[in-house]
Amino acid sequence: MAAVDGMQTQPPCDRIPEAVRRASPTVWMNPALDATASVLPGLATGRADVDAAVARWQRFAPLLARLFPEEGAGRIDSPLVPLEERLSRDVLDGADGRVLVKADHALPVTGCIKARGGVYEVLAYAEDLAARAGLLTEGRSYAAFADPEFRALFARHVIAVGSTGNLGFSVGLMGRSLGFAVEVHMSHDAKAWKKQRLRELGARVVEHRGDYGAAVAAARGAFAGRADAHFVDDEDSVDLFLGYAAAALDLQRQLAESGIAVGPAQPLFVYLPCGVGGAPGGVAFGLKLLFGDAVHPVFVEPVASPCMLVQLAAGLERTVSVYDVGLDNRTAADGLACASASMLVARTLEKLVAAVVTVPDDALYRWLRVMWTEAGLRLEPSAAAGFAAAGRFAATLPAAVGAAATHVIWTTGGAHLPAEEFEAALARG
């Protein structure tokens, strides 16, 4: 690689491994990975921000319990499910280690990890509006956010979002529950049933012929500068990021309750399906704050849409999309069909992501079927990505790491899949 006066002269695409450009499954070890303690102080976001996000979730627990009484006591969190030994071994392709599933595919309220960010950002916006309108009096329970005077305020405001489907649903459901007008801009690959359920909520769905990035850009442009509107920017929102990051504390508590230690000799590997990067980025960031170098976030992307891998490998001096390296961004994992990564996430996680693993669609379908028949997990293709990656990643680990390691596969959506969609996906496995 040639460098002149410290400037990078190699074209970014040349830095992308040949196998990635051929859409071959790849395990990419992040060469920029650095010691957590040296990276975190240089970032704009830190522990205090995540603690503030956790506190906001807690303030809103009475509201969530009021709006969704059947969904638990106001907490949006999922169980941590241990896999039995034989299945763990299959997931790790014969390697030693304990495997648990962080079951966000069955997350309360929306059945998808995107609720952690999307619901959180709607709540943050609602809180800001209510504060400015003088509705937040000392000691008043946040359950009042569902009262008519709050709803009347929210009804005068629009929340807009660009989405492949699941973020739109999370924002749409929460926004509509509070009385906001909601407009969801969706890409050509968004599933018809995801559009339909949004319309049933009373959200306006705007369909775009372009991809996810085009839908986001159109929505951003349409709502820029409007005082009565809030645009949830999947590519660039700190609130979304913090909503996801708060999940790390849930995992920390659940690991402790299960008696699972995490430390230098007991590494934690966490497999996170990655689309634009917000959800995996936020969770990985939160985990790094809590576990430092003992946690190894592994992002998982479809072979046709490895936008985060491409961006991190190319370097952050300029944006690079999967189209730039000859890939077509066509994948069965609709939630992961993003051509360009969030630069907010790429910059924040540049030195914290351990690896990115790319997986083909047939492996997603295969694991979707296996996890249904062997463990009763109802996943959508995107959510099966971690299973398709763990064995290949575990094969790169020294044997000595094996037995003491914990692998957490984050499943990210699927519980609300309509029966016919799920049956069709099962049939392809």
Ligand X SMILES: Cc1ncc(COP(=O)(O)O)c(C=O)c1O
The yes or no reply on residue 114 touching ligand X (CB under 6 A) is yes
The yes or no reply on residue 335 touching ligand X (CB under 6 A) is yes
Are the C-beta atoms of residues 272 and 355 closer than 8 Å to each other? no
**Residue number with CB closer to ligand X (181 or 284):** 284
Cα–Cα distance list, 167 to 172, 228, 258, 346 (Å): 8, 21, 31, 19
Pairing between β-strand 181-186 and β-strand 204-207 as defined by DSSP bridges: parallel
**Residue 186: its H or E element:** strand 181-186
Indicate which single residue of 83, 106, 167, 182 sits in contact with ligand X (rule: CB under 6 A). 167
The yes or no reply on residue 112 touching ligand X (CB under 6 A) is yes
**Residue number with CB closer to ligand X (95 or 327):** 327
Place of tokens 């083909």: 360
The yes or no reply on residue 166 touching ligand X (CB under 6 A) is yes
The yes or no reply on residue 276 touching ligand X (CB under 6 A) is yes
Dihedrals φ, ψ of 220, to 5°? Answer: -60, -45
Distance separating alpha carbons of residues 88 and 81, to the nearest angstrom: 12
Site mask, ligand X, residues 338-367, x = CB under 6 A? Answer: x-----------------------------
Q: Which residues of 67-79 are buried (b: 16+ CB within 10 A; e: fewer)?
A: bbeeeeebebbbe
Site mask, ligand X, residues 371-390, x = CB under 6 A? Answer: ---------x-xx-------
* Binding piece for ligand X, criterion CB under 6 A, among 145-153, 196-204, 335-343, 393-401: 335-343
Distance separating alpha carbons of residues 124 and 48, to the nearest angstrom: 16
Indicate which single residue of 92, 113, 245, 359 sits in contact with ligand X (rule: CB under 6 A). 113
Pairing between β-strand 3-4 and β-strand 7-8 as defined by DSSP bridges: antiparallel
**Residue number with CB closer to ligand X (77 or 262):** 77
Least distance between ligand X and beta carbon 296 (Å)? 18
Total binding residues toward ligand X, as defined by CB under 6 A: 22
**Residue number with CB closer to ligand X (12 or 280):** 280
Indicate which single residue of 108, 194, 412, 417 sits in contact with ligand X (rule: CB under 6 A). 412
Least distance between ligand X and beta carbon 115 (Å)? 10
Q: From its phi and psi, is residue 33 left (phi > 0), alpha (psi between -120 and 50) or beta?
A: beta
Q: Is 37 helix (H, G, I), strand (E, B) or coil?
A: helix
* Contact set with ligand X (CB under 6 A): 112-114, 164, 166-167, 273-280, 335-336, 338, 380, 382-383, 412-413
